[in-house]
Structure 1
């Protein structure tokens, strides 16, 4: 577990997190709706999340994904950070995704959680590159990426089916060997 601030940690998702994940997604249903795929009612069920967590834990040794949660000291989940689609070999890369609960935004949690995920990607997973994509109008997420040394590398038209429509995304990458200038201690 890594400390994000005085009240939050970043830790791997684990068996037993299904109920807290379901509560987090229900609390943030409206907040996340513009940024995620359309979710049916079953997605917000505790059992759905516990099954998803169990599947991830079973698949974890294959090393294709890393799923982390932002947990508050009261045991509630306040956000997520994922390194998905990890590819080894000549590519040695992963896709980054993250979100923070609406009531916890503006505290630096996402910036710090992404920083720690990048450190893990570089030091433990030995990755070369991490890619992220944001909706064109998601300036808050773009600030998180910029603070962590990501550079914009392109625009992907109709990239993902978000909020029921194929939407354009700005693509970013972070080459993990490159230092982030002006931000001491960054990966």
Structure 2
């Protein structure tokens, strides 16, 4: 399993996985709310526009957009977003994975790698993951990794045509002195 920055040349593979998983992911993917009456809507960006935006945010230090590769094949995306510096030093993580490989430990590994990078390389202090309460598979990812549930954010994100509640899970660097990947390996081997 590998995490690497998203690239323009990932377009064909990204679009194929995204298209094939459209129905499976629809309940969880953020959408743009309808514009106020009398205003024109915003067109969905093309893949290249999305990558340009994500890479621009990365260059500005506000985001880390990754693709998730399994055995060399693109199987998902993980984005560290909302990076805030100064007295907060925090970020949030969002992700999706191909249904064909879900449940095989790929996404917990990807989240663990990204958290270690954020804590150990970037020097962030806190990571949040916000998940719809009914998204049990995604909740299991962060629960396996030891994120603590902090509460509910009512009508937090626009998803699948409406404003949806999200559970907040969080972790600080002090909670994983051994590193997140080491913790995940211990969980998988049954040592924790």
The TM-score with structure 1 as length reference comes to 0.84
Contact 2:17–2:75, Cα closer than 8 Å, also in 1: yes
Quote how far apart the aligned CAs of 1:184 are.
7.8
Give the number of the structure with larger relative contact order, counting CA–CA contacts within 8 Å between residues 6 or more apart.
2
Of the three residues 136, 153, 157, the one matched with 2:154 is: 157
CA distance in 2 between counterparts of 1:176 and 1:84 reads: 17
Establish whether residue 127 from structure 1 lines up as the match of residue 124 from structure 2.
yes
| RMSD between aligned residues | 2.3
**What is the deviation of 1:174?**
0.8
1:156-175 map, 5 Å? 156-175=153-172
Match of 1:13 among 2, 6, 17: 6
* CA apart distance, 1:15: 3.0
The 5 Å alignment of 1:34-45 reads 34-38=27-31
Query: For the structure 1 residues 98 and 184, does the alpha-carbon distance in structure 2 shift closer, same or farther, using more than 3 Å as the test?
Result: closer
Deviation sequence 1:42-75 (CA, Å, 0-9, x none):
75xxx8112221232234221100011112445x
Question: Given the alignment of the two structures, is residue 22 of structure 1 paired with residue 15 of structure 2, yes or no?
Answer: yes
Structure 2 spans left out of the alignment, 5+ residues: 33-42, 185-192
Give the number of equivalent residue pairs: 174
Q: Deviations over 1:68-102 (max 9, x none)?
A: 1112445x421111100100011100011011101
Q: How many angstroms does 1:29 deviate by?
A: 0.5
Separation in structure 1 between the aligned mates of residue 90 and residue 160 of structure 2, nearest angstrom: 27
Partner Cα distance (1:37, 1:142) in 2:
17
Post-superposition CA distance 1:135-163 (Å, at most 9, x none) = 11111111110122210111111111111
Q: Structure 1 residues 58, 37: closer, same or farther in 2, change over 3 A? A: closer
In structure 2, the residue matched to 1:57 is 55
Asked if 1:91 is matched to 2:76, the reply is no
**Alignment match of 2:175 (pick from 161, 173, 178):** 178
Describe the superposition over 1:113-145 as per-residue Cα deviations: whole angstroms up to 9, x where unpaired: 100010111111110000111111111111110
Displacement after TM superposition at 1:176 (Å): 1.8
CA contact (8 A) 1:180 1:186 kept: no
Gaps (5+ residues) in structure 1? none
